[in-house]
Amino acid sequence: MELLVASAIGVMTAAGMYLVLRLRTFPVILGMSLLTYAVNVFLFASGRLTIGAPPILRDGVTTYTDPLPQALVLTAIVISFGMTAVVVMIGLGAYLGSDDDHVDDAPVPRTSEPEDPA
């Protein structure tokens, strides 16, 4: 089970990095989302993958699930949703402003300034 989760985290991280390095806006947004999902799964898995264990210690319970990673993931989901919404709006504004969704701008040609004869 741990190997499957670790492999899924690695694949999501690799795919996210590949998409972030693209030159278009939409794949960059998808790559950032994939990286966020990979971090969320990593945080969730760091709380030990325990099935059927309570998150609160009680008398007679020897194993429990740590609730802190679950709270961190829940907070990270809300933050990543807001971040994705902002980035989508910035990308949409850039696309509507220039009719192109390339991430990098074309280099601006240098204009030669007239030399001062003095």
**Number of structural domains in the chain:** 1
**62: phi then psi, degrees, rounded to nearest 5:** -100, -30
In this predicted structure, which of 21-25, 47-51, 70-74, 76-80 has the lowest mean pLDDT? 47-51
- Is residue 112 in a domain? no
For residue 40, what are its two tokens? 């969320």
- Burial call 94-105: b when 16+ CB within 10 Å, e when fewer: eeeeeeebeeee
Domain that holds residue 27: 2-50+66-98
- Is residue 110 in a domain? no
DSSP 24: B
Q: Which residue has the higher pLDDT, 50 or 4?
A: 4
For residue 109, what are its two tokens? 């040609």
Predicted confidence (pLDDT) per residue in 46-73, tens digit: 877 677 777 777 788 777 777 788 888 8
- Is residue 117 in a domain? no
